[in-house]
Amino acid sequence: MRPPRPVLPVALGALALAGAALLLATDAAPGRLPPRLHDLLGALPLELVAVACFARELARRSGAGALAKATLASAAFLAWAASQLSTEAHAAAVLDDIAIALFVLDAFLVVAGRPRVAPPTG
């Protein structure tokens, strides 16, 4: 039997999904919302999913490696969210670059950390 899913990370993830859907819905009617509201709607799901990723590992009482990986992903999402909120172009670009670097590092660790599959014998 599988253990129950932690409520807080799932709730935060669901809110992030709802926020992303709302963001996409606002794209169907451009110009009807104040520009900064669109920026806030773009940052909110990123912030929520960052907290959800971290909270999941805390709730699971994961080891240091999993917690470090969740911290890495969360930091990437938070940098991306901050870039959405930045009103200064250079700061937004730097935050985007940080997010990209963290996401690439996270993906590399996933790829490099996969166990090797034994070659088929035959």
> Which pLDDT tens digit goes with each residue over 1-25?
666 677 888 999 999 999 999 989 8
pLDDT at 86: 94
| φ, ψ for residue 97, nearest 5 deg | -65, -40
Distance, in Å, from the CA atom of 84 to the CA atom of 87, rounded to the nearest integer, reads 8
Residues 6+ apart with CB under 8 A from 95: 79, 80, 82, 83, 86
Tokens read off for 118: 């034994």
The SS3 of residue 50 is: helix
The reported pLDDT for the residue numbered 32 is 81
Q: Give the model's pLDDT for residue 1.
A: 60
- For the chain, residues with pLDDT lower than 50 are none
CA distance 31 to 26: 9
